[in-house]
């Protein structure tokens, strides 16, 4: 980032948050330049690493994204948006393949196929795991390593976003401060596009 007075200029997109969503987005945007803001060192502040169990995807023989979406809607008992469920389940297999390609050591059988388990309201075996219940930690370690190997991604640690910056009705970046510094004047990080991925 280049600095001018109290303004920093991010190259390309600016991503606020360095958990799974933020880092995954940064990798999908590569090789376009991306700046990721993380309040803490990568892997130490995001709740993504705490996730246990596994990730659901209709990868088994006879299973389908539509069946996965139906199970999701039934489990949601009326609060699941149909279009969202169909869209998410349609992408699930490709996202598992992304994570595997980036080094996530998913459990596999002797033939290299994903070992699929069944949990909760799923009607088929579609849970992909890592060492049983270490999926969140393992995915984060793999994705952090991939981010560090990607030259188009810049991670700025120790900074926290305060608010969105707007001009003429559109978001043009964020105001932020060093983590723990309550009193200094906020820094404006200007970017062509801003992604909020600070959900935890």
Residues 6+ apart with CB under 8 A from 40: 157, 158, 179
141 assigned to some structural domain: no
Residue at which a domain ends, from 93, 108, 133: 133
Tell me, what's the pLDDT at 1? 54
E-state strands within the chain? 2-4, 7-9, 13-16, 34-38, 54-56, 116-117, 127-129, 153-157, 159-167, 170-178, 187-190, 193-196
pLDDT (0 to 100) of residue 36: 96
Full residue range of the structural domain in which residue 182 is found: 2-45+149-196
113, with CB counted inside 10 A (0-12, 13-18, 19+), is exposed
pLDDT at 10: 87
More confident residue, 128 or 2: 128
Residues 8 and 66 in one domain: no
Q: What global pTM score does this model have?
A: 0.88
Q: Can you give the CATH number for the domain in which 41 is found?
A: 3.50.50.60
Mean pLDDT of the chain: 92
Asked if pLDDT for residue 132 goes beyond 90, the answer is no
Residues 70 and 129 in one domain: yes
17-45 confidence digits (pLDDT tens): 999 999 999 999 999 999 999 999 888 87
Residues 37 and 64 in one domain: no
8 belongs to a structural domain: yes
Say how many domains are in the chain. 2
For residue 63, is it within any domain? yes
What average pLDDT does the segment 170-198 reach? Answer: 91
Q: What's the pLDDT at 5?
A: 62
User: 72-117 pLDDT, tens per residue?
Assistant: 999 999 999 999 999 999 999 999 999 999 999 999 999 999 999 9
Q: Is 80 exceeded by the pLDDT of residue 165? A: yes
Sheet holding 153-157, edge to edge: 153-157, 34-38, 13-16, 193-196
């Amino acid at each position: 980032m280049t600095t001018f007075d109290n303004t920093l200029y991010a190259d390309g997109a600016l991503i606020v948050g360095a958990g799974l969503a933020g880092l995954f987005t940064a990798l999908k945007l590569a090789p376009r330049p991306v700046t990721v803001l993380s309040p803490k060192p990568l892997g130490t502040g995001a709740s993504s690493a705490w996730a246990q169990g596994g990730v659901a995807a209709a990868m088994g023989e006879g299973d389908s994204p539509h069946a996965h979406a139906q199970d999701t809607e039934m489990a949601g008992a009326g609060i699941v948006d149909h279009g969202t469920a169909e869209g998410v389940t349609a992408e699930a297999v490709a996202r598992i393949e992304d994570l595997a390609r980036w080094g996530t050591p998913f459990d596999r059988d002797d033939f290299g196929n994903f070992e699929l388990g069944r949990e909760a309201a799923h009607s088929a075996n579609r849970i992909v795991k890592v060492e049983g219940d270490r999926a969140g930690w393992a995915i984060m370690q793999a994705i952090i390593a991939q981010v560090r190997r990607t030259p188009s991604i810049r991670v700025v640690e120790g900074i926290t976003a305060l608010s969105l910056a707007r001009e003429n009705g559109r978001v043009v970046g964020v105001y932020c401060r060093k983590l723990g510094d309550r009193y200094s004047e906020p820094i404006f990080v200007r970017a062509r596009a801003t992604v909020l991925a600070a959900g935890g």
